[in-house]
Copies of this chain bind each other. A is one copy, B any other.
Amino acid sequence: MTTLSINGDRLWQSLMDLAEIGATPKGGNARLALTALDGQGRDLVVGWMREAGLSVTVDKVGNIFGRRAGRNNSLPPVMTGSHIDTQPTGGKFDGCYGVMAGLEVMRTLNERGVTTEAPLELAIWTNEEGSRFVPVMMGSGVFAGIFSAETALNARDADGKRVADELKAIGYAGDAEVGRPVGAYFEAHIEQGPVLEAEDKVIGVVTGSLGLRWYDVTVTGMEAHAGPTPMPLRKDALYGATFLMQEVVKIANDFAPHGRGTVGVVNIHPSSRNVIPGAVKFTVDLRHLDPERLGEMDARLRAACAALRDGTTTGTPLEVVVEDVQYFPPTPFAPGLIGHVREEAGARGYTHQDIVTGAGHDAVYLAGVAPTAMIFVPCKDGISHNEIEDARPEHLEAGANVLLGAMVAQANA
């Protein structure tokens, strides 16, 4: 099947045409979920889907599906997709690439007159970004049974507007029930990280999604004037907290290559230049591909907190409180589908490597209800969620070719 190839110029042109809706002065895209602009974007892509002969349905939370019949339509569909909503200062490729790559698959199969055994579907998931409405990855989350359609439909934006009403306003409050059997799910996406560029690889064979644990840690000492308080009489909450902040990074390093550890937010009380910090609250983000390893990382963090609490770390006992904020378990992708992606990349002569996704994607939810895999292509400097997000046409073309080959292989398996 490697002789089938998508049209890279047409793929690029479709991405650029879609990017004109909600284009920002700095070259990015602002097309927030269920705004009028999102409606225009949906209309444009649904028009293309119909032109490609797909039968379009919309479910109750606004997920759009374009179906291409197979020889045996009693089989569950081999699906691909992503999202076309963006961050407020988003780029042209995040999400849109996965949808346009799927559309190219359909267009190419039409041109070549190929019919697959199982039907194929192209999905556009509602509100992946979560910038306007939470929960994020809303449409795929309801589809996968993570939360209910009611939860999604009753979500409100900062102005109090409901998802249900906004769906109606743009004409995408569909009739179809949300969720049904899916034979396999593929999603092509820009990496949104620096690995492929650093390794000079064209295709990332995504083997799974990192699990994450989020915490809020509060270290409490005693605030006091920086001048009159000698060092031995201090209970400096920040000094103590720095050892935990460093431990977060050390833990991740000790669980290479799939460990991640980040402290992103630090708040100090009372936050005055000449006052010893009395309390420091900071966030911890730990990630790993393996649930057991993630559990070990969690234990290391708690042990470090205990050592700071009892005075082992600094000689000065401090109050340390660890609050669990969120847990997403690691999600391994389906070996069979991963194999298709790896084989297609190899057969087409694309440089490639296994990689994990640290960011959330609709595919991560789909993996709970269907065999799933993802295809990554490099993005410039690893930057995403930014108007300067960029990707090279030949990489996008390569990723879509791998998607094409993998979907056909799976649908005919």
Contacts and interface: CB of A to CB of B under 8 A. Distances in A.
A285 interface: yes
B228 A382 contact: yes
A75 interface: no
Contact of A238 (B191, B263, B382, B385): B263
A182 to B, nearest CB: 25
Indicate how many identical chains form the complex. 2
Interface stretch (A63-71, A167-175, A251-259, A393-401): A251-259
B357 A228 contact: yes
Interface in A235-259: 236, 238-239, 242-243, 245-246, 249, 252-253, 256-257, 259
A212 B233 contact: no
Contacts of A252: 231
Contacts of A265: 268, 271-273
Interface in A211-237: 212, 214, 224-233, 236
A249 B236 contact: yes
A275 interface: yes
Nearest to A257: B230
Interface stretch (A25-33, A192-200, A336-344): A192-200
A226 B193 contact: no
B266 A198 contact: no
A358 B229 contact: yes
Given A230-B260, A239-B249, 4 more contacts: A225-B359, A225-B385, A227-B287, A227-B357
Interface residues of A, number: 58
Interface string A267-291: 0100111111100000101010000
B264 A225 contact: no
A214 B273 contact: yes
A312 to B, nearest CB: 16
A90 interface: no
Contact of A198 (B233, B246, B383): B233
Given A225-B384, A264-B273, A283-B273, A259 B246 contact: no
Contacts of A264: 226, 268, 271-277
A410 interface: no
Nearest to A228: B193
Contact of A228 (B191, B227, B229): B191
A119 to B, nearest CB: 32
A254 B230 CA distance: 12
A403 interface: no
Give me the 6 closest cross-chain CB pairs, A-B, nearest first: A227-B358, A193-B228, A226-B262, A242-B242, A228-B358, A273-B283
A194 B276 CA distance: 13
A383 B272 CA distance: 16
A268 B282 CA distance: 11
Given A227-B212, A359-B228, A273 B285 contact: yes
Contacts of A226: 260, 262, 264, 285, 287, 358
A123 interface: no
A218 to B, nearest CB: 15
